[in-house]
Structure 1
């Protein structure tokens, strides 16, 4: 690792990386397994994605955040939240705990809190430490763009290996003509099919962007309903409660009761421990990838 004066924290969205790694390696039907039949394809892919980002962005500190089950405060607010999600593939399930063991072998803390999502843990840690260090969030989830600020960058993993789009306030404005907070307003209007909340029925992405760019916020839109076309106004008025609920569901919480001690996040690789873990999972070819 390059010696740096400015501390840089990489916050890894563990679920996003693990699911991406699983599907990137399982589409052909072949699942990598140990000699005893333990599936390891997602773990193998995860480490390759993860280490590529570490090599490219050269953090001084790392923490990995995880969802802690399907029941969260959002499912209490809206029972259909993520209700459309299929069960995780059978081959992936045992890899959930195994990848955490691998991260522990790297000396990287696994962080999660029952009742919250990984996004909320990431948002909370970013807020706690954003004044003291540069924060980089590694994910595939565009919802995270609401966390961008002068010290927080969001690294969106693109298709293919080692392809990233790094968002800061300037690149977010250039690409989408939105501020970070406006990302939440857009989601409130258009909803999110992957998370299964509807927003305002009949308002899609294009209209949502246009309204937020023109009126700055949901409040600005509601104050100027009289200026909207009859069709759009009628849709918003008919779904006002769902608009407010959808926006609340989209908002990442930055006040999760978690403790993340930066002393435990400093990168100090125990090469013997990593080699032992890789040997146990029969993925020794990764030794050369991370240089152990």
Structure 2
């Protein structure tokens, strides 16, 4: 590996959904000549290529959810059950996005039964010891993966606006180390993923308890020192607390690998431009980086 090598992992679903809803609210679905909406894929590519331009990774891979059911649904039937079906204009763009990524010769990575987060966490653990890893997402849940060589690039409004987190910046923001984010979510729950944590315990209380006792085990060992109200709430929801912790933790042992040779970012411009023309995404062409030509000395 070159000293300057780095791997960028893209949270495909997070970027695709973000791009879709940014334009869908005004009905700008960007229907191409084949009658297919392309607004989500167009925005996804802009997010990905802008991040590549900004952070210059040598290697790139995109991770995807592979269906709505995962091992978490086996733990809790109602996990993410509050989410409706994807909009009809978005559904055909799931496959199109993967085809576009393949045209850039970037690996698409996903495994049925696991979420994109789990694939990202697994690869970050596998690679993080040998080269720096950056994760591009809009999902703060991934902050639990922060390590010395793993940074998280959170998308902010618009394109090219980022909040880059390291373990130090995360601690500065909330006073916790990254792993404590799992216990934070276990205590306060996650309405977007549809699990409750401990009813009546919000973010402010959860942060206070973790800063005082370190982790869930520390809280449980010191129940008698808690206020009567907090003690009662935790005791009543103890089973859900432990279950919520399992749901909140990203699985970093998914049976997948990232082929680093395949992930070396070196798109074939002709191939990419042919795909962009075929799908009506020509405006993206100017964002595709030029690869330096090899010069041979005579």
Fold-level match, TM-score > 0.5? Answer: yes
* Unaligned stretches of 5+ residues in structure 2: 291-298
2:80 corresponds in structure 1 to 82
1:182 corresponds in structure 2 to 180
3-state SS of paired residue (2:10): strand
Q: Does 1:221 pair with 2:226?
A: no
| Aligned counterparts, 1:23-38, within 5 A | 23-38=21-36
2:12 corresponds in structure 1 to 14
CA separation of 1:165 and 1:129: change in aligned 2, threshold 3 A = same
| Alpha-carbon contact 2:269-2:288 (below 8 Å) kept | no
1:235 corresponds in structure 2 to 233
Cα distance in 2 between the residues matched to 1:247 and 1:5? 37
Cα distance in 1 between the residues matched to 2:245 and 2:276? 43
* TM superposition shift of 1:27: 1.1
TM-score by length of 1: 0.97
* TM superposition shift of 1:141: 0.8
3-state SS of paired residue (1:285): helix
TM-score by length of 2: 0.95
1:133 corresponds in structure 2 to 131
Q: Please provide the CA RMSD for this pair.
A: 1.0
| Aligned counterparts, 1:36-51, within 5 A | 36-51=34-49
2:107 corresponds in structure 1 to 109
CA separation of 1:174 and 1:85: change in aligned 2, threshold 3 A = same
Post-superposition CA distance 1:117-176 (Å, at most 9, x none):
000000000000111000000011111011000000011111222111111110000001
Cα distance in 2 between the residues matched to 1:167 and 1:220? 27
Post-superposition CA distance 1:233-283 (Å, at most 9, x none):
100000000000001100001110012110110011100110011001111
Cα distance in 2 between the residues matched to 1:163 and 1:226? 46
Specify which of 187, 200, 203 is matched with residue 202 of structure 1.
Answer: 200
1:169 corresponds in structure 2 to 167
* Unaligned stretches of 5+ residues in structure 1: none
Cα distance in 2 between the residues matched to 1:251 and 1:152? 17
* TM superposition shift of 1:291: 4.8
| Aligned counterparts, 1:62-81, within 5 A | 62-81=60-79
Cα distance in 1 between the residues matched to 2:149 and 2:269? 31
1:148 corresponds in structure 2 to 146
**How many residue pairs get matched?**
289
